[in-house]
Amino acid sequence: MAIDRSLVSIEPKSFDEYAKAVLSAGAKVAPLSSQVGALIWTDYSKPQALKELLEANSQIEWVQLPFAGVDAFVDVLQQPVVFTSAKGSYRQPVAEHALALCLALGRKLPERVVAKTWGKKFAVSLYDSHIVIVGGGGITQELVSLLAPFNTRVSVIRKHPAPIAGATETVGFDRLDEFLALADFVVLAAALTSETLYLFDERRFSLMKPSAYLVNIARGKMVDSAALLKALDSGVIAGAAVDVTDPEPLPDGHALWNAPNLIITPHTADTNAQVVRLFSQRIDENVKAWLQGKDWVGLVDKQLGY
């Protein structure tokens, strides 16, 4: 039986906004059957369940994944299916969070919030600073635009060094070490792949200036937690802010909770409400692409892993 391209399934759980997005794009939400060739997958934590579903439903031709990062779905991506991700969807709130963390570090806000004495004057300004951003996707593009008023030098490190509007320079990963030595702030905004797994280890921290700060809004496993703790304890870097950790959630009592000048936010760069709203927009875009044969938004490159 041929598939009905007007039918789209949403698994394993849906929200009214997702169903409305499918309907607004001109399709119908339907239970999974042999007639359904399009699937909206909504649970990042269940890649094995998706793999088993695809193995049992060979008629599925397209799967929309819920987040920008698809590292959890490495094994699933081997299926002969078109995968699209939400890369670029959450760029605004995540870039905003990265900027907020940079500002908070530079002004020592965590320390001042709990202070009960006047203390010493301290400030590291974003104005005229050098920001190195690792990764060249939508979050980076948005963050570059947010940094424009600060007259910063923005160096983007990405796998394919195509220019990014507003960046001072865009270079390949082979020049990461060179630029780490120049940075006042290093922001991690890349996909987690075999190349970026524990990209920041003890050696990389040693290349940074003692006055430099690290901000991670990408994936926890891009940073060696033990190396980060050592770098903070010994003053190798001035401080760090992380919205993602390894392990995650970070257990109560973990040594990082007591690390000096470390801000930890619980993966809240984008909230559930923001994710539902923005993912609904991506569903609308790609259901239309599915129905009309147009270009996908957020097409996953299976070789690159993002």
Cite the DSSP H helix spans in 196-271.
Answer: 202-207, 225-233
| Residues 12, 114: Cα–Cα separation, whole Å | 43
Q: How many C-alpha atoms does 69 have within 13 Å on its Cβ side?
A: 20
CA 164, 166, 171, 176 torsion: positive or negative? negative
Active site residue 178: no
Question: Catalytic one among 267, 277, 282, 285?
Answer: 267
Active site residue 267: yes
- Let me know if 5 is exposed, middle or buried by CB neighbors in 10 A (0-12, 13-18, 19+): middle
Question: Catalytic one among 17, 96, 169, 248?
Answer: 248
For residues 264 and 247, the answer to whether their CB atoms sit within 8 Å is no
Angstrom CA distances, 154 to 192, 269, 281, stand at 22, 21, 30
3-state secondary structure at position 183:
coil
Chain position carrying tokens 């919030």: 113
3-state secondary structure at position 79:
coil
**Residue from 69, 216, 215 nearest 137 by CA:** 69
Question: Catalytic one among 219, 254, 282, 285?
Answer: 219
CB within 8 A of 109, min separation 6: which ones? 103
For every residue of 271-297, DSSP letters joined together read -HHHHHHHHHHHHHHHHHHHHHT---S
**Residue from 82, 87, 36 nearest 62 by CA:** 82
- Provide the annotated active-site residues: 219, 248, 267
